[in-house]
Each structure stands twice: as C-alpha cells, then as structure tokens.
C-alpha cells in the first residue's frame, strides 16, 4: 500500500495532482509513517491525516533546522522476508538522502497545491 498527498481548498474541494505531475507525492506506508513523524505532523492514523498549510510549512522549517540532530532516529533498513507457505514481505528502507530529498519533494508539493488554492493538505 502507499499513501498519496493532496491539497484542499477553503471550500473543501480536493486538489489532486496527476501522477505525471512533477509535484505528485506518494510514499509507501512505512516511509510515509516515518517521514510524517520526522516532520512532526500528525501520524498516519488509519493511513490518513491532514495539516493546515502553515503547519506543513513550519514542519519543513523545523525539519531542515534540526535535520542532522533528528534524522538518525528515523532511518530504517529495508527488508525482504520470504518464508515457505507465507506471503513475501518487502519493506522499503530509507536513509539521510531519502529524507533530504523528501523534504524538497514535500515543499514542491506544497508550493504547487498552494498555487492551485490549497489552504490545507491531507494524505490517504
């Protein structure tokens, strides 16, 4: 499963970027959970959540200001587990470069949906 990010206008109309849009933002569940926790945004309760645009922008500023101090707590090794008679489980990992890149991706997403009238964002 994966989690995609969307904008929301003041009158609660969703702003859904096309998957071909360079600012489209999607992550696997594990990486989305750790990235949102790293940003200090509400976690993925039932794989969904929301934040106001000012809260999301402050999260980016905090993440950049505390990057070196905090990022090590959120890094995960990937895994690929296969057992006889059970489903194969592949869990994506992440590293410092992943978080740095995702902060930039998140900011690009925010700027794009804000230009389209978003006052808040949500993920599902």
Confidence of residue 103 (pLDDT cuts 50, 70, 90): very high
Instruction: Give the chain's mean pLDDT.
Output: 93
Average pLDDT rounded to a whole number, residues 84-89: 91
Segment 46-76, tens digit of pLDDT = 678 999 999 999 999 999 999 999 999 999 8
- DSSP secondary structure code for residue 88 in this structure: -
Q: What is the 3-state secondary structure (H, E, C) of 14-29?
A: EECCCCCCCCCCEEEH
- Where do runs of H (alpha helix) occur along 9-116? 29-39, 53-65, 67-70, 96-115
Confidence of residue 81 (pLDDT cuts 50, 70, 90): very high
Q: Which residue bears the tokens 């992440």?
A: 94
Flag whether pLDDT at 13 surpasses 70: yes
Flag whether pLDDT at 45 surpasses 70: no
Q: Which residue bears the tokens 């890149």?
A: 101
Residue pair 47/54 in contact (Cβ under 8 Å)? The answer is: no
pLDDT at 29: 84
Question: pTM of this prediction?
Answer: 0.88
Domain ranges of the chain: 2-123
CA 58 to CA 110: how far, in whole Å?
Answer: 12
């Amino acid at each position: 499963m994966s989690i995609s990010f969307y904008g929301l206008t003041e009158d609660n109309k969703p702003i859904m970027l096309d998957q071909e849009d360079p600012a489209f933002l999607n992550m696997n569940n594990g990486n989305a959970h750790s990235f949102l926790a790293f940003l200090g945004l509400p976690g993925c309760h039932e794989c969904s959540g929301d934040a106001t645009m000012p809260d999301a922008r402050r999260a980016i500023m905090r993440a950049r200001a505390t990057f070196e101090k905090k990022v090590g707590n959120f890094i995960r090794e990937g895994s690929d587990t296969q057992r006889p008679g059970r489903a194969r489980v592949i869990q994506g990992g992440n590293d410092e470069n992943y978080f740095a890149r995702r902060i930039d991706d998140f900011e690009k997403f925010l700027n794009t949906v804000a230009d389209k009238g978003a006052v808040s964002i949500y993920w599902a």
